[in-house]
Amino acid sequence: MVRCKGNLFLNFEGSYSRKMNKNKNISKCLLITILGIFVFLNFNPISILAEEKTSPTETNTDTAETTLPPETILSSFNGQTITLGEFNLLWDQIPENNKLQLTKSNVLDQIISEKLLIQEAKNRGLEQDKDVLEQIKNTTEQILVQSLIEKEIIGKVKVDDQEALTYYEENKDNFITKEQVYLYNILVETEEVAKDILEKLKSGVDFIEIAKEKSTGPSAAQGGDLGYISKGDLIPEIENVVFALEIGNISDIIKSQYGFHILKVTDKKPEVLKTFEEVKEEIAPTLLSTKQKEAFDNLLEELKSQVTIEINEEALK
């Protein structure tokens, strides 16, 4: 019989296609979580200013501390110790932008807090608690699977330039920038109002000014400016007209489900195929994800082929 844990094999594309080194040290993840809560509750902008204005004497002290051997005792309490090496290992893993909101004293205090919490949990016998042991087992199994995936798939599956180029050549349609027009729109509710506006435009009235004054469309405040519009993004009755317009020309009145339009094209961009160099960085992650998924599926198939799997179909119902 085969016993499957519901949370063991996660969706590979969602979970295993990324590096998962952060999950290897549960204690450090817990500490970073605590640090985050601490910063949220205790962050004081004044303390940052104080850190930024650290005196030369204080800076020299920090420099001196880094020259001490890693086994130097940084803190001791209740039979436990924290060494400088242990502290620096964690400090170095904190992102630089987060360090702007922390002091080393803050971090040390949180390490002490975590160790005290762990000690208290052990004192209460939680190490032998059935639910805790099950969670530890599940977490250990997850880390083992993640490590296997990192070693056999993440670490081995790569995409080279030739593979990316082949994909580009076989999928050029995906890398075409469609023809575009820079479009201005005036939208009104009745044909009579539209005819009046069109006459004014033909007599030389500025399109943008009259759009701001008369248009009921969302772009009215911007003088009807819709920006660059790609072919295929407009409703057919409008698209057929505007892509046939010459730059600077104004359309006749066009009726749509939204009302009556008058449109102006001020620029055009032809359809362009992006070069391989332009899209190479887009292709690599797509190919890598596909190759990793295939490698993962192959690994599972290989493992299943090496064993006899029996399933109780009756119990499964």
Is pLDDT of 20 > 70? Answer: no
Token pair in block for residue 119: 């000690």
Give the pLDDT band (50/70/90) at residue 156.
very high
Q: What is the CATH architecture assignment of 179-270? A: Roll (3.10)
Q: Measure the CA–CA gap between 5 and 23, rounded to whole angstroms.
A: 19
For the chain, report the end-to-end CA distance as a whole number of angstroms. Answer: 15
DSSP 104-135: HHHHHHHHHHHHHHHHHHHHTTGGG-HHHHHH
Does the pLDDT of residue 93 top 60, yes or no?
Answer: yes
pLDDT at 157 over 90: yes
Rg (the chain; Cα; Å)? 32
Choose between 138 and 40: higher pLDDT.
138
Is 154 buried (19+), middle (13-18) or exposed (0-12) by CB count in 10 A?
A: buried
Helices (H) and strands (E) in the chain, counts: 13, 8
Closest by Cα among 147, 77, 64 to 108: 77
Average pLDDT on 278-306 reads 93
Domain boundaries along the sequence of the chain: 12-154, 161-171+274-316, 179-270
Burial class, 52, CB count within 10 angstroms (exposed 0-12 / middle 13-18 / buried 19+): exposed
Write down the pTM of the prediction: 0.52
Tokens 């620029």 belong to 267
Q: Residue 228: helix, strand or coil by DSSP? A: strand
CA distance 213 to 209: 6
> Residues 132-159: what's their mean pLDDT?
94
48-64 pLDDT, tens per residue? Answer: 323 333 444 444 444 44
Share of the chain above pLDDT 70, in %: 79
Average pLDDT over residues 101-120: 92
- pLDDT digit string (tens) for 193-213? 999 999 999 999 999 999 999
Tokens 């001196």 appear where? 64
Give the chain's length: 317
What distance in Å separates the CA atoms of residue 277 and residue 164, rounded to the nearest whole number? 10
Residue 301 has pLDDT above 90, yes or no: yes
The confidence score (pLDDT) of residue 63 equals 46
**How far does Cα 50 stand from its chain's mean position?**
33
Across the chain, mean pLDDT equals: 82
In this prediction, residue 237 has a pLDDT band, given cuts at 50, 70 and 90, of confident
How do residues 274-288 score in pLDDT, each as one tens digit? 999 999 999 999 999
